[in-house]
Structure 1
């Protein structure tokens, strides 16, 4: 009857090698050492594969953090999978082992897997917004898509490998050809506003109706449009071409002679301040179809803000000081107290 535990697989052969090997026989000693190394490596592989199977059954995937250690046997599964990926890339992994890991769902290239996940989120964002010019804080499908797009637009953001970078850029361009507007000479903000203006016009909006205060997805497209018209000469040729295709033109420059003529006409303008208030009131009524409340602040085409609601109240308070032309201009816009 044997005493003690039974020898494990390979132990008996090792004992025999040692028993019958001459003490100074280097060939047999080397064979024994080699056998021990191979046997240890085989046991390590089996432990790793079993730990990977347990993780997959529990978590549903093999997206294992590098520092993860399986509780059973305290096995460093994350590090072990990283070692297997390195062996696979070096071409020294057997086909049988590669097939076993693939059956478990190993991700050979974790960088590409992460890119694919974010690319899916980018596709979802484009379907909702019609552009990949997302603001930095934008998020969708639990992905901080705005920050990710900012990162991949940076030099080297698509990876150090040129081939991989080209493939990734092509994948983004397949979603939105203008995904990286910096290469075209303008900012992400400009691209987003331009895309939203295009969408508003495509939905049937008239260009003249897109005034400050008209928004899409929270961006004031009317104010942006007025700025483009005012700063037309600062745009590059391609920006001007794209806007011109939508019917946008440069804002006419105010002529001094016209201002002098307006001033000479006397009561009709009632001074620059009154004329500015009248312009803001006209703009608000054209957009909203009603008179503004006291808290309304209107943004004029030149980008300045006008407290139109308070201005109307002030005109009412000084009604007796308004001349006939001023009251007529207000009455024409539906200000009932100015009539008569």
Structure 2
């Protein structure tokens, strides 16, 4: 950045001005935040400072999505993302998070359980059965969303319940019909699934 200014002052060619910043602009940014780093995502830096200011003002460190929202930024979601994405942070970012906000990487026991095809099948089948019971057929429009009753606790619905993209799921199942286990095919045949 400053090298480009020196080259310009000496009437020498500058290799690229695309990412160049004037010295005055860099000084202005340093005055606002001496820890500002032009290679870090500005969104990351903004959220860091929002969390930092919240904690400095006496607030507790937000731990879950929706705990604290400031200037339209969900600080709890950001803190969670830092903990679960620790490996993607630069060592200096990790140091800053640990030493200024006391944020530490998520432990193995905190990691969310990865869903398998078996755990995904049950809510999708429940949604198909519910649609069939209500409509009397399994011909679901591709963009249809179904909210199976009694399956709360997963993200997606306005009330926090399960939302199944039923039309897309059934289209995908039809395309993979030859690879379906016999029991799954039987479950769908009972609903009159058009293959």
Kindly indicate which of the two structures has a greater share of residues assigned to helix: 1
Taking CA–CA contacts closer than 8 Å with sequence separation of 6 or more, which of the two structures ends up with the larger relative contact order?
2
- TM-score, length-scaled by structure 2: 0.45
- Structure whose CA Rg is larger: 1
- TM-score, length-scaled by structure 1: 0.27
